[in-house]
Chains A and B, each alone.
Chain A
């Protein structure tokens, strides 16, 4: 009787703590774009948890207890890499007691390994701000990169979960077709943007600029990762007198004060781009992310 009540208590306690689902492949995505991509490719075969939201700066996230718990149960972590998550992912790897997600294991997927990196610094020194030796990590702002990562991720999913190879292959094929059509559609829509001068808050849009032919004339952060100072903002404003820009853009998680200040004085719109899935009302999935990004950029031309 005593034994039974202990068992019951234990069962209730564990039940209250909520056990994760064991049926599907557990995926911990460091950023929402990779979570969304894993969901596109995995469908009901995967259970995805996003470590961050569009309103959090993926550079500065803490190794929270909730993330440790998710890392413990993950079959696969999908991160950008290129040191974007260096402040917190190593702690998850060290403390989660999960051999699958260690660096070099199939359960550790670094998206930036599958695309061509931009802005690889010739030399690295902390006086240059938050520079990444492997190149600018914000690769998701170019949908062609998403396409490349999708291909690699589909292969990885098949490797980790061989029972569902056919599923991953067919869903990749379907996604790749839809994505290709969507990219060419976005490129058509975005044709008027080619050559448009923009100011950015953080140097987070190198891949978007490269894709659409946008010209970044200035950044509000004096050095990457350093919040805008009033002196630097004044310099940017003076620069815009000589070299006008159409808009000042920032990611959903960036503080708006700097770009609002500049927008008002330079008489240009400040645009908040979703930056990742969930960053705006329309950016509900990867397709919505770029639909909204292009529409918002086009609004600067009006």
Chain B
């Protein structure tokens, strides 16, 4: 550009000089004018030169980057800008089902297991079409120290519940993670998983009988992962314990504590496993439930005391060479044993033989074992077998007033599901439910579960 500009300026300078007829004053004025013009042009030329140099430098570096990348196209895309860029991950689970039950679910009860009205309503199977639980999940890193997540369940009766809403640390060293808020307790294997990640329409009987389906807690959770190549995790929780088997309470301190350890690893490329042992301790105060007494009357009873639930869990997964896309198999089982001691008040409403308080000591247990086999991409078949044991139940002074059925509730279920993608599932479940003494309920469920929004990451 400089090469072109100099002759141009020279021409401008020589042109007026050639007009010799003009007088000196005019000539001076013209020269001044030209001098001003030259100054202006030079300044502009300098500016242009600078811009040219900058542009050349930029394009050279861009070309270098492009050459390195092996192609001559645009640089990597810029990160999204604007306030929306910080929006958290949002996902929504949509689920609905159709249930065909051979027996009327009205008054559903697991024989020998005393569930309060709330959890009992949650586990009672539904007939006909119903919307299952829709779940809205929102999560993101809060800052460099914390991660936060909330899961809201929208129930078919248009009520909303907070399944989880917690913050957890991401910056504690040495394998430590601290969580605060409401969370699904880390006890057992299935408890921490959301319903849409279950392999069957319903939770196992043992989870229904001992945890009302699933146990969440308001409190603190501390986990420690050992610095070993074999997975060893130890967790401890302190919390309110307001949910069954605990009760709401008006007290300082903790109403529920949990302790658990998990061990896991791989065997070759094709097998992986995890096993665990957990203890959940709650102290229910006036936990109330409805029952039928020895006189055949409907009574309301309540229990106060201590409740300890032990869970032994194990899961083993197989996929050829660790590639689960075509075929894979999962075997999963848990054994739960609950020990409750305290006082039981019989017939609190004095509706039958009159209110009476006595001691209560119960040792009950249950297990389930299930296998899920994906035999071809997208298609899985699963079988679940489960059984509860009434073990020993001692009502003390109330032994003559309350029934102590010697009955082992059981249920078997077969399921098929079709998973066209990671985000959708359609499931058929056939079950024979003998959780009520003397009643065999043949159940057919058809269910869909779909997720939209952010790509979820699932636990093992």
Contacts and interface: CB of A to CB of B under 8 A. Distances in A.
A binds B: yes
Interface of A: 14, 17-20, 52-53, 55-57, 60-66, 68-70, 72-73, 83, 86-91, 93-99, 102-104, 113, 115-117, 120, 126, 130, 134-135, 142, 144-145, 147-148, 210-211, 225-227, 253, 255
Contact of A227 (B74, B272, B377, B422): B377
Nearest to B72: A116
A130 B452 CA distance: 13
Given A69-B230, A94-B147, A126-B423, A99 B225 contact: no
Nearest to B145: A99
Interface stretch (B129-137, B317-325, B333-341, B364-372): B317-325
Q: Which of A57, A98, A134, A255 has the most CB of B within 10 A?
A: A98
Contacts of B42: none
Nearest to A104: B144
Nearest to B223: A97
16 contacts: A17-B229, A64-B264, A64-B266, A69-B226, A70-B229, A72-B227, A73-B227, A86-B455, A87-B455, A91-B459, A95-B223, A116-B74, A116-B76, A126-B452, A210-B70, A210-B71
B73 interface: yes
A65 B231 contact: yes
Nearest to A86: B455
Interface residues of B, number: 62
Nearest to A148: B68
B419 to A, nearest CB: 11
A55 B321 contact: yes
Task: Decide if the interface of chain B is mainly helix, strand, loop or mixed.
Answer: loop
Interface stretch (B47-55, B172-180, B288-296, B386-394): B172-180
Interface string B43-77: 00000000000000000000000101111011111
Contacts of A65: 231, 262-266, 272-274, 460
A64 B262 CA distance: 12
A225 B263 CA distance: 33
A250 to B, nearest CB: 12
Contacts of B144: 102, 104
B134 to A, nearest CB: 18
Contacts of A98: 173, 175
A255 B325 contact: yes
B341 to A, nearest CB: 31
B167 to A, nearest CB: 12
A61 B460 CA distance: 10
